[in-house]
Amino acid sequence: MKKVILGLYILMSAFGSYAQSDTTYICSYGGPQNDGFNQIKLTNDKGFIAIGTTSSFGSGNTDFYVVKTDSIGRHQWSKTYGGLQNEEGFSVATTYDHGYAFLGFTNSFGAGGYDVLLVKTDSVGNIKWQKTYGGSDWDFGYSIKETQMDSGFVICGLTYSYGAGNGDVYVIKTDKSGDTLWTKAIGGAQYDIGNSVEVHSNTLYAIVGATTSFGIGDTNTYFLEVDNKGNIKKDTTFGCTHSDCAYSIRNTLDGEYFVSGSSDSMHPGTPMTDAMKIDTLGHLNWEQFNGGAGSSIGKDVVQDAVNQSYFTVGSTNTFGAGGFDFYCAQLNVGGYFIVGPTFGGANNDYGNSVTFGAGNKSIAYGGSTSSYAQGLFDGCIITQRLRNDSLLSYPIVIRQYKDTLSPSAVQEQNLPESDVKVFPNPMQSEGAILVQQQGIKGSCLFNLYDVLGHCVISEALKNIGHNQSTCNIERNNLPSGTYIYKIIEADAKIATGKLLIL
């Protein structure tokens, strides 16, 4: 039976007493430009590994950014992976051989405009091999898990190269060497994306994301189960009349699923965190929305083996210290809200991932921060002890690690004539455009067109030096869907591409 719980968070200054020896550590890592983490995992030595993207270091415009820390976030080593153009890192799997598999996408290598990029390393980040997957168009990798039966990998993301519509869920199964065993493009006539994959058993993989092809709303949460041969076993949607999207799926202790995401179906135009408990038949057991007058997005979840409660992380600008803050919450086994602290400063801070420390005695959050950054944004890891299996407020220690990796040094003579970066893509509320262009003489415009060819956004790009121009864009009241952008200089088109709005 479906049970919907609607809650409104009120941030409290304290959630219980703390011992003076307990400390929350907020650690930032990066350089002078934009750096951030999309996922954090516990490592075999009881530390943490974080994967994200850097424009401060590496070989090109942006590279995979990997940071290894100890159990309280102290920096141990860093690596970048990529080529002369753009790479973005989204997911990491800690592998059975005590190494790592890092997933994202690239337009430095591969067959198309963008391709899925998988980098396999040893325990200290040295590359053992790397592979790309995709066709002649754009293909993106967002989530990876190792499969126990064969030590291979299952990957989900988004493909424009294959499938039936504007964009389809992209599922890739590889062996332990990264060689493709099978691929699957899943979706309808419109836009479908896979944001997170979970290995439910040796023969079943669960995927969540978003769809505009199916369901009753502008965008609905998309739930899939695929067997280890690529056959679709379950295909369903969740949501109402507006926009719903899932970012994470995790196994629960009772053999079902917890899904974390966002929804503005309860209050159109005001996204709230969306937490769902789903059984293996795709039935909704319960759902909880939390948020307020601003925007709140749920990105990840872990479950405590002791009391079976759920710990989630995301971002909110409804409450906190300013801008967007890390939004952490604890829900009991029935989905009812227990506590929900925020972390952050006066600027924007985004929580993207959560994991337990060794023995489930501590918890760690990963994301990006501008409040504690040394550059524009830094990767951020927040660690705190759990007391009585609950989130409590502790004294905060802030640590900033200025990374010593080599600065990004693009070999400009090898760059293509035009390179455009739109991020994030897909976009929810706002985004940024970066054009790396040799030989721009005059002013440029970023124009965005709907499916009927109407120009719905037109923004002038500002030259920021180093052959780069940039601008920010806001969604305003634009509906979800696929849009075409054009970069125009003196009435001549110099670049075009697709922007997806969720």
- The percentage of the chain sitting over the pLDDT mark of 70, rounded to a whole number, equals 90
Amino acid type, 267: H
On whether residue 407 sits in a domain, the answer given is: no
User: CB of 389 within 8 A of CB of 309?
Assistant: yes
Q: What global pTM score does this model have? A: 0.81
Tell me, what CATH number does 476's domain have?
2.60.40.10
Range of the domain at 172: 22-402
Q: Which tokens hold the place of 157?
A: 């993301």
Is beta strand 284-291 parallel, antiparallel or unpaired with respect to 3-8? parallel
Residue 6 included in any domain: no
- pLDDT value of residue 442: 55
Name the amino acid, one letter, at 389.
Answer: D
The verdict on 128 and 224 lying in the same domain is yes
pLDDT at residue 17 above 50? no
Mean local confidence (pLDDT), 495-500? 84
The rounded distance, in Å, linking the Cα atoms of 140 and 286 is: 31
Pairing of strands 492-501, 481-489: antiparallel
Q: What is the model's pLDDT at position 493?
A: 61
Evaluate whether residue 217 is within a structural domain.
yes
Looking at the structure, do residues 370 and 493 belong to the same domain, yes or no?
no
Flag whether 377 is in a domain.
yes
Alpha-carbon gap, residue 245 to 421, rounded angstroms: 23
Residue 69, classed as helix, strand or coil, is: strand
Q: What is the pLDDT of residues 338-351, one digit of tens each?
A: 888 899 999 999 99
Residue 372 inside a domain? The answer is: yes
pLDDT tens readout for residues 196-207 = 999 999 899 999
Higher per-residue pLDDT: 144 or 360: 144
What are the residues facing 312 on neighbouring strands?
A: 301, 329
CA distance 440 to 442: 6
Structural domains in the chain (count): 2
Burial of 414 (0-12, 13-18, 19+ CB in 10 A): exposed
